Structure 1
Amino acid sequence: MTTLTIVLTGACGGIGRALAVAFASAGHNLVLIGRNPDALAALREGLERPRSHRYIVADLSSAEAITELCSDIADGSAIDVLVNNAGTSSFGVFAETDDAVVEHMFQLNVLAPMRLCKGLMPLLLKSRKAAVINVGSGFGSIGFAGFTAYCASKFGLRGFTEALQRELANENIAIHYLAPRAVNTALNSDKVVAMNAELGNAADEPEVVAAAALAMLQLNKSSNRYLGWPERFFVRLNALFPSIVSGALKKQLATILRYAKSA
């Protein structure tokens, strides 16, 4: 097995921790990115071979911070993989969503991955095992009431990934889009958890996402993977017959709005 050096953003979140554990356990070296130095240090010390990993504190909502981060990474060592996992969500009726929340969501969910890909691509293309994994969402393919701004940001990330896959098709790099369904992390508010329970929406553990990401590293070409059934079926159905999905979701709208308006 080839040992890879992986840059992982959002390392201290629920999915990020699971990714870090999975990658480290597989023998890879990590550059952990997050905002909390104490949490990053504790995460590193809890991984296998802790001295094989390093961490960098950075606020990915800042363009200047990302520029500095890319420079810091380039000074540290060669890298093979970038995993754009950092992200944020917001649940509520769009008309009541603060503009600052929407702007922050786009900064973190869309612009940060784009800026990191641009800044680190020259370094990545020097690797014979170069890859990017953009962690999206099933809501990057299906618009869902109560998550309007979040859906828009993840639609943007999916579009960026698809275009980058095609733009770099002649280069030795795999560009992946990984779209989980609901995941049991602290990112979900109590309202979201209660709504999903009432609607019967299943949720995966972060380790499921980590296992899928680890499998992507074995691929030699770009790929898209949607997790969960029937969620991935509805992604395909929505692409072909969106009116059918709209009809199904309309039946759930009263329940969704009851939670969203009180969020």
Structure 2
Amino acid sequence: MMGMKLEHASVVLTGAAGGIGAPTARALFAAGARLLLVGRHAGRLAALMRSLDPQAGDRSRVDVLAVDIGTPAGIEAVRSVALARHVNVLINNAGLASFGRLGALDEAHILQAVTTNLVAPMLLTRALLPGLQDQPAAAVLNVGSVLGRLALPGFSVYSATKFGLRGFSEALRRELAGTKVRVQYFGPRVTQTGFNSPEVEAYNQETGAGTDPPEVVAAALLTLLRSGAAERFLGVPEKYAVRVNGLAPAALDAAFKRHRLALPDA
């Protein structure tokens, strides 16, 4: 199984300044990759770029692009710069948290979560695919979640977006089999970042959720890229639970009573 040689990689990383994004950018830079860091906050991206390259003089090694990939203009901006940089790796990492009973989530939030977590990665991948196919070897790595194969109470919208992203990854992987473009899905469990609201932190503590530092998650992401494997899930027992859930999901329903009772009131 052939994976990606990161010293030869030119990477687009979305959500680059976020909790998983920043340590992933640092790990990729240390591995020798060239980076286009994409996000909505220009100040955070610039600070991250300076932390990677204090001189900030070699834009061929690290560059930033502050755009909203949830818009056509944002996607076109990434496509244009990616072509100029001969990008051969797209990491769809940008995401929006969603937690709570379905009745407590308003329509605007649901639409934004679906757009950010699912529609935007699909459209960005579609836009960059011709350029990726022109490279000697390329990869699309979609950062999902364990909740993309194991849905929990309180994460109905978030799980729907990550289940969708995993389905997109699986179908596209099979569609592109035999081509130069490899498609991968990465499913971390709870990561110790500001992505989690205080309500989620309380829920995780009440339910005994396992967690990982973001640096550990970033290292596992690079391992997946290098390996060329189709997908990887983090955590024990999470990686085993997703297998059981895939075979007999209804058999696990009763196991999540504790999670249901830990939900905040609507």
TM-score band w.r.t. shorter chain: over 0.9
Of 18, 22, 46 in structure 1, the residue corresponding to residue 23 of structure 2 is 18
Of 139, 142, 158 in structure 1, the residue corresponding to residue 166 of structure 2 is 158
Which aligned pairs between 1:1-263 and structure 2 lie closer than 5 A?
A: 2-48=7-53, 50=56, 51=58, 52-74=61-83, 76-219=84-227, 221-255=228-262, 257=263, 259=264, 261=265
Quick one: structure 1 residues 88 and 98, their matched pair in 2 at CA, closer, same or farther if it must change by over 3 Å?
Answer: same
Q: Within 2, Cα distance between the matches of 1:233 and 1:175?
A: 22
Q: Within 1, Cα distance between the matches of 2:183 and 2:123?
A: 15
Q: Within 2, Cα distance between the matches of 1:171 and 1:3?
A: 18
Q: Within 2, Cα distance between the matches of 1:252 and 1:117?
A: 34
Give how far 1:222 is off: 4.8
Q: Within 2, Cα distance between the matches of 1:88 and 1:72?
A: 24
Secondary structure in 1 matching 2:8: coil
State, as a whole percentage, how many aligned pairs show the same letter. Answer: 40
Secondary structure in 1 matching 2:90: strand
Q: Give the gaps of 5 or more residues in structure 1.
A: none
Q: Within 1, Cα distance between the matches of 2:259 and 2:47?
A: 42
Q: Within 2, Cα distance between the matches of 1:224 and 1:87?
A: 18
Secondary structure in 2 matching 1:177: strand
Give how far 1:4 is off: 1.1
Deviations 1:35-70 (A, max 9, x none): 111111110010157422000111122133212321
CA contact (8 A) 2:14 2:91 kept: yes
Q: Within 2, Cα distance between the matches of 1:140 and 1:252?
A: 17
Quick one: structure 1 residues 108 and 48, their matched pair in 2 at CA, closer, same or farther if it must change by over 3 Å?
Answer: same
Q: Within 1, Cα distance between the matches of 2:35 and 2:249?
A: 40
Give the number of aligned pairs: 257
Deviations 1:192-211 (A, max 9, x none): 11111121111111112211
Q: Within 1, Cα distance between the matches of 2:91 and 2:16?
A: 10
Q: Which amino acid aligns with 1:17?
A: A
CA contact (8 A) 2:69 2:124 kept: no
Q: Within 2, Cα distance between the matches of 1:252 and 1:24?
A: 39
Secondary structure in 2 matching 1:6: strand
Give how far 1:217 is off: 2.4
Deviations 1:106-129 (A, max 9, x none): 111001111111111111112223
CA contact (8 A) 1:24 1:48 kept: no
TM-score w.r.t. the length of structure 2 is 0.92
Give how far 1:187 is off: 1.1
Q: Within 2, Cα distance between the matches of 1:222 and 1:197?
A: 32
Quick one: structure 1 residues 82 and 175, their matched pair in 2 at CA, closer, same or farther if it must change by over 3 Å?
Answer: same
